[in-house]
């Protein structure tokens, strides 16, 4: 009887928890969506801030109604 070479079965390496999340497409899609929403909000706030910075500062003019009393 001829000896046959035993085939080695190659098992998939267990993913570490950090790598598991990076390989999970649903998690990556959610992460990218959250990042995009945050980036949009920040950009919108920044543009509003830049627009308001260009506005002239409103000054209040005080009209004297009565002359100051002299003591």
Residue 44, both tokens? 């919108």
Condensed to tens digits (0 to 9), the pLDDT of residues 57-67 reads: 667 777 767 76
Residues 31-60 have a mean pLDDT of 86
DSSP state of 54: T
Q: Are 23 and 15 in contact (CB under 8 A)?
A: yes
Domain map of the chain by residue range?
17-51
The model scores a pTM over 0.75: no
Helix (H) or strand (E) holding 50: helix 25-53
Condensed to tens digits (0 to 9), the pLDDT of residues 1-37 reads: 667 777 777 776 777 777 777 788 898 899 999 999 9
The predicted structure's pLDDT at residue 57: 67
- CA 20 to mean position of chain CA atoms: 22
């Amino acid at each position: 009887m001829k000896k046959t070479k035993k085939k080695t079965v190659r098992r998939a390496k267990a993913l570490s928890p950090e790598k598991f999340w990076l390989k999970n497409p649903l998690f990556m899609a959610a992460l990218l969506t959250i990042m995009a929403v945050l980036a949009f909000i920040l950009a919108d706030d920044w543009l509003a801030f830049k627009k308001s910075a260009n506005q002239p500062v409103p000054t209040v003019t005080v009209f004297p109604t009565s002359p100051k009393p002299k003591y």
